[in-house]
Structure 1
Amino acid sequence: MSLLAPDSPSMPSRAWHGILCVELGMLFFVAQDAMMKEMLNSYSIWMLIFVRALVSVCILTPLVVLLGRPHRLLTPLWPLHLARAALFTIGFSMFYAAFPFMGLAEVTTIFFSAPLITAIMAALWLRETIGPHRIGALAVGFAGILIAMNPAGDNFSWIAILPLSCAVAYAASQIIARKIGDRESTLTVGLHTLAFSGLMIMPMGWAFNRIVTPGPGFDHLGWSLPFAPLTDWPALALLGFLGMGGYLFLSRAYQVANASLIAPFDYSYLPFAALLAYALWSEVPPANTLLGMALIVGSGLYLGYRELHTYRTEQDPAIVGKGVFTPGSPLPQQVPDSEDEWWPPRDDRYSPG
């Protein structure tokens, strides 16, 4: 999961700043997903994803205009952004569709298989080498996925396939991010991904309901555009703000601290989600989910360790970005060109696996 950067003598002094920012980012994303789970009782997935995208674009657009180069509103790479947006729109529609049927910790544990899937895709399509250590870590991680999903158990439901499908779509989007590389800033990537996603989600919801008639219990997938009363507007705005705030905190974290140090803190999303789900809905993850979570996290951390070990062995001076696999976040994170750079830098590279 973690994509690592070289050590810098000036970065460790700001490590606590970076750790604090990444933890705040995780809290924002957990709060966003908890709000999404609760609001699905009143609104459709299509509307909530659209509102989240709309609020985020309203925040990002003036930032891009104000900051200027290297950020830009118009880009010749729009086909790649469009492809990423399609993957995000489809993937996170499936992710949130599982919320009414599964616990928050269960859904997100399965989704955190995304870095493992990305490593496989990078080996197949980008010809990246996976050595025996990484193969072993991937095997352990995928064993964790099977344990968390428990397909042979009496309580298994096809709903568990939805967050796994989202992880596959997210991993594919990260491969496209590699194709974009350092030709775009993160703000530009985020703006176009969110803007295209917002444009796609409503037609997608309409088309889905023309093909499939959601049955009882699937009201959150129905095609209805209820008028949001004025009293709900602040909550809808907060939903978009939390997603955008989480992204900005994560961006800041990887600009002020060494990614190899703070990357493991991404996994704090999982215990945060479990605790919040228990506090709000008295959800207690089953034993197989907890065991699967431990194996997936351990596998991801070991992959990150191997990335750092390989990098230090080769003494490659190039900065390698780090992709953050956070549910609901459409934005790849990366390491800055300099520690003084506040906003997302020009380099969006990352190296999965």
Structure 2
Amino acid sequence: MSEVARHSYGLHPRAAEGITCIVLGMMFFVVQDGLMKTLIGAYPIWILMGVRGLISLLILLPMIVILGQPHRLFTPVWPLHLLRAFMFALGFSLFYTAFPFMSLAEVSTIFFSAPLMIALLAALFLGEQVGIHRISALIFGFVGVVIAMNPQVDSFRWATLLPLACAFCYAVSQILARQIGDRDSTLTTGLYTVVLSSIMLLAFGWAVNRLVDFGPELNHLRWQIPAFTAGNLVMFALLGTVGMVGYLLISRAYQVTSASLVAPFDYTYLPLAALMAYIVWDEVPRQTTLIGMGLIAASGLYLGYRELRSNRAHIDPLPVAEATVAPGNPTAPISLHADIDEH
């Protein structure tokens, strides 16, 4: 069998490494969001995300300088990075705002409508072809989102709109990342997104608190500078480090094998988040959350399956940035392709 045939129709020889890295990366992201949910009770989200950005800067900046090309500190496509960082900052400020009002499983399940929105926006604005199979999967997934939100008049909570809005902002930011394409590396993209969004969040948090007096139920939105004791400094450092390790693991996954192979493993986040929430906070997901989670995951997995079939008909280079979807992850999906086999 020729080298081309092996590449086109067989699994990548480093598939096991890629899958292991993305599953471990999702585990780290679950821990990161668990730390955020715990710390939000004592510290405002602006400070937590600002500190997380600072830790990321201290990790990413030396890596870019040491590794050199293709990574770079100064890029001509900075306006796209700036706009993307704004969408990222807006989206995840909404995501973490929902934490005191919803379980981690509920917030995460609704957020994972983002891959469905990315596919829809790519079809609308990037001209990507979407066949009947993908249209059916998208409808199926959005039904799961509606069920997870449980929009009954007597039980609907406004907070359920927050992770949905975050998913939309995240989807827009990833469409912008498609415009950046392979002009910047994963580390450069991550550096600009994390650092710029952190600066924006700190400025936004300060400005909003000048205009709005948040009540006790929104204490996590107040502008309060905590006392930096040794204990909370360790927690802040752990928060930033865990997030960056997860980011680097997922980066590695998409560097060693194809995006279409490992992207479906993003959904390991959902059961892991539900399990941690049950163990740590004794949170039991509602039946509607579990049903919605199943429908969203099934839809996303089927989209991944169609992507894998599509990629087997092409010879594509490995992506420069990721196509992953995970809360708080600033990576870029640049290797999605049209569905060419709809029979």
SS at 1:71 equivalent: coil
Whether the aligned pair in 1 keeps the contact of 2:257 and 2:318 (CA below 8 Å) is no
Moved more, 253-262 or 280-289: 253-262
Instruction: Give the direction of change, closer, same or farther, for the CA distance of 1:186–1:224 in structure 2 (3 Å limit).
Output: same
Match of 2:315 in 1: 317
Counterpart amino acid of residue 40 in structure 2: L
Instruction: Give the direction of change, closer, same or farther, for the CA distance of 1:309–1:8 in structure 2 (3 Å limit).
Output: closer
> Are 2:157 and 1:196 aligned?
no
TM-score, length-scaled by structure 1: 0.90
Q: For 1:16 and 1:352, locate their aligned partners in 2 and report how far apart those are by CA, in whole Å.
A: 26
Whether the aligned pair in 2 keeps the contact of 1:118 and 1:171 (CA below 8 Å) is yes
1:71-92 superposed Cα distances (whole Å, 9 cap, x missing partner) = 1111111111111110111100
Q: How does 1:175-186 map to 2 (within 5 A)?
A: 175-186=175-186
Q: For 1:33 and 1:81, locate their aligned partners in 2 and report how far apart those are by CA, in whole Å.
A: 24
> Are 2:147 and 1:163 aligned?
no
SS at 2:133 equivalent: helix
Instruction: Give the direction of change, closer, same or farther, for the CA distance of 1:50–1:13 in structure 2 (3 Å limit).
Output: same
Q: For 2:201 and 2:25, locate their aligned partners in 1 and report how far apart those are by CA, in whole Å.
A: 25
Q: For 1:81 and 1:265, locate their aligned partners in 2 and report how far apart those are by CA, in whole Å.
A: 27
1:34-92 superposed Cα distances (whole Å, 9 cap, x missing partner) = 00000001100000000001000110000000011111111111111111110111100
Counterpart amino acid of residue 234 in structure 1: V
1:110-165 superposed Cα distances (whole Å, 9 cap, x missing partner) = 00000111111111111111111111111001100000001125322000000000
Give 5+ residue unaligned stretches, structure 1: 1-5, 334-347
Q: How does 1:271-350 map to 2 (within 5 A)?
A: 271-312=271-312, 315-319=313-317, 321=319, 323-332=323-332, 348-350=334-336
Q: Indicate the percent of aligned positions where both proteins have the same amino acid.
A: 55
Whether the aligned pair in 1 keeps the contact of 2:130 and 2:338 (CA below 8 Å) is no
Whether the aligned pair in 1 keeps the contact of 2:214 and 2:222 (CA below 8 Å) is yes
Moved more, 253-262 or 133-142: 253-262
Match of 2:263 in 1: 263
Counterpart amino acid of residue 272 in structure 2: F
Give 5+ residue unaligned stretches, structure 2: 1-5
Q: CA deviation at 1:332?
A: 2.2
Match of 2:27 in 1: 27
The count of aligned residue pairs is 332
> Are 2:99 and 1:99 aligned?
yes
Moved more, 16-25 or 96-105: 16-25
Q: CA deviation at 1:8?
A: 5.9
Q: For 2:17 and 2:311, locate their aligned partners in 1 and report how far apart those are by CA, in whole Å.
A: 24
Q: For 2:337 and 2:160, locate their aligned partners in 1 and report how far apart those are by CA, in whole Å.
A: 28
Instruction: Give the direction of change, closer, same or farther, for the CA distance of 1:17–1:60 in structure 2 (3 Å limit).
Output: same
Whether the aligned pair in 2 keeps the contact of 1:7 and 1:258 (CA below 8 Å) is no
Q: How does 1:115-194 map to 2 (within 5 A)?
A: 115-152=115-152, 154-194=154-194
Q: For 1:351 and 1:153, locate their aligned partners in 2 and report how far apart those are by CA, in whole Å.
A: 40
Match of 2:71 in 1: 71
Instruction: Give the direction of change, closer, same or farther, for the CA distance of 1:302–1:52 in structure 2 (3 Å limit).
Output: same
Counterpart amino acid of residue 162 in structure 1: L
Q: CA deviation at 1:104?
A: 0.3
Whether the aligned pair in 1 keeps the contact of 2:129 and 2:338 (CA below 8 Å) is no
Instruction: Give the direction of change, closer, same or farther, for the CA distance of 1:180–1:307 in structure 2 (3 Å limit).
Output: same
Q: For 1:298 and 1:10, locate their aligned partners in 2 and report how far apart those are by CA, in whole Å.
A: 24
SS at 1:130 equivalent: coil
Q: CA deviation at 1:95?
A: 0.1
Moved more, 300-309 or 11-20: 11-20
Instruction: Give the direction of change, closer, same or farther, for the CA distance of 1:182–1:99 in structure 2 (3 Å limit).
Output: same
SS at 2:217 equivalent: coil
Moved more, 133-142 or 211-220: 211-220
TM-score, length-scaled by structure 2: 0.92
Q: CA deviation at 1:16?
A: 2.3
Q: For 2:338 and 2:169, locate their aligned partners in 1 and report how far apart those are by CA, in whole Å.
A: 15
Moved more, 251-260 or 134-143: 251-260
Match of 1:108 in 2: 108
Whether the aligned pair in 2 keeps the contact of 1:106 and 1:285 (CA below 8 Å) is yes
Q: For 1:193 and 1:164, locate their aligned partners in 2 and report how far apart those are by CA, in whole Å.
A: 21
